[in-house]
Structure 1
Amino acid sequence: MQNEAQYKELKEWRSQHIQAYLTDNKKLNQFHDELMRKVFNKAFQTIKKQSGEPPCAFLWFVVGSAGRREQGVASDQDHGLVYETKSKKYETYFKSLGEELSFGLNEVGYPYCEGNVMSSNKVWRKSLEEWEEQLLEWMDSQSWESMRYLQIFYDARSIVGEEKYITTLKNKVHDFKKGHPTLLRRFLDNMMHVKKAVGPFGQIFVEDNGAHKDSIHIKNAAFMPYVNSVRLLSIKEGIHATSTLGRLSELCLLPGYKELKPYYENFERLLSYRVSLFKASTTYDEVHYLNIKKLSKDEKKEVKHILKNGRKLHEYVQKIIKKGC
């Protein structure tokens, strides 16, 4: 029962208000949360009219940049559902809700996830019992894809509903890790490749041609080395925070991790750059590219420093994980 008209006003509301939140990453992501909850309320009312009240307790969670509170001006959708009780009847209800949520988010400006990490996909919509089984299956599997799914799940953050479900499920990962220390090495193997962003003579490697000539893919070259490295240390240490800055804050309080403080500052600056430099970006593709030629001399120097340190952090985490395995 998908109705474009009911989401049109939310799309207009987004266009009218998002400009007020482009000076601060925290405020921008609070705005995204507010908008996603508004979408949820619309979708939920639609399903209630169709199928009645939810048959059991549930949780709607977000992952990806939304889970980490690191969304830019434009962002795709990444989310899932957990419902309390395993039942074919209940699955039918939450399937309808998941499909309506994915539709509604797309209508207001969050494009469908190319990787299909959405509540409309059965892989990301399960009962609590099925989620526990799914996590165990992923952790037991030797496939690259399973490790990728686990990394995605570990960024899960409650947006509506029973937050305790996420804690319960992440504790399953930590319990498994204690009995299977090689799990961390498998996570590491999954994130080994980091594209070199800065050359031996200090030159930044940019796109040579096409629509993004003279630009770097800021998500792959800058964000992901920090995000993946810090997530892995957080899994190792049992940290439940989802934002990269939140994880770094908690890690810095632990013995042996004080040297991570400069990386906190690097990532904080990276988030600021994205907010300030991508105000004019309107599409999900645009926010991933940074044109180096448009930077001032000082900005270019700082971006280069952030890129080089992202690689250093990745190498630092490799040593820690390999030492412990």
Structure 2
Amino acid sequence: MGYKVVVAGATGNVGREMLNILAERQFPVDEIAVLASRRSLGTEVSFGERTLKVKDIDSFDFTGWDMALFAIGSEATKQYAPIAAKAGCVVIDNSSLYRYDPDVPLIVPEVNADAIAGYAKRNIIANPNCSTAQMVVALKPLHDRARVKRVVVSTYQSVSGAGKDGMDELWEQTKAVYNPTSEVPPRKFPKQIAFNVIPQIDVFLEGGDTKEEWKMSAETKKIMGSEIKVTATCVRVPVFVGHSEAVNVEFEDFLDEDEARDILREAPGILVIDKREPGGYTTPVECVGDYATFVSRIRQDATVENGLNLWVVSDNLRKGAALNAVQIAELLGSKMLKKG
């Protein structure tokens, strides 16, 4: 037997990707409903070889549905997630709304699958920030061997992390650079993104970090352990899809780069591409559409006692959002909502 599955936010980038991945991975779906706001009522979206019509989330009855994958942003989630959860439908939420709620598990299946049992408190499971998800996938197998003490990470995050508007802005500004009569002022981003990098993602907090930088620290601690220290600098770059991260890790115990490479090659969800030659590493262009988190440039850091450097790249719409949500759904089905 399969599951009755809802995808809320089905017309957005992440919602469409959720549908693609559910179909690709042959998730056991008996019935599926696709939801969005009223203005998208009747819009058609693809699910494998089927075409589905979008329903209005405002009037949808979640009773009798097993799980709902939410990609509708924090404000809408605040309104609709409690309704779905109260109706007995487990919500897997992609927004930041519940990530820091102690009664809601924050799950990356390759990292802390056992924490999913906590879903029963609220009938809600949180999906982490895209930049956090790929980093902890790379850190966890190394942490199990040598215990991560401190992480210094610089991110290079694609515009798709800001949604369709961000992608459109990069496209329009790029065209305008080659057309002297055209000008596209920043709207989605604080400065021009085309042929530029912007060291700000989300709002600034009192201590000087941006909220994105704070998220990476808080979420890593919740997923992997509160003793891990994380400092981040998050940068938006003119790339359409795919986040990259330069990760410096300090361990409690010494970990040789060759052993680290071997550990990562055996770890779930990771592909190691690490040749010390021109092009012997992965870039965002090459990871688009792939499930894996790619790790390259694995090398010792001689400036600290037990340090390694890593280059980590992943499709943020997949592992950073839609894929992780579907993997949570698979985990939920196999461990908690078994049927048949």
Question: TM-score normalised to the size of structure 2?
Answer: 0.27
Higher strand share: 2
Question: TM-score normalised to the size of structure 1?
Answer: 0.28
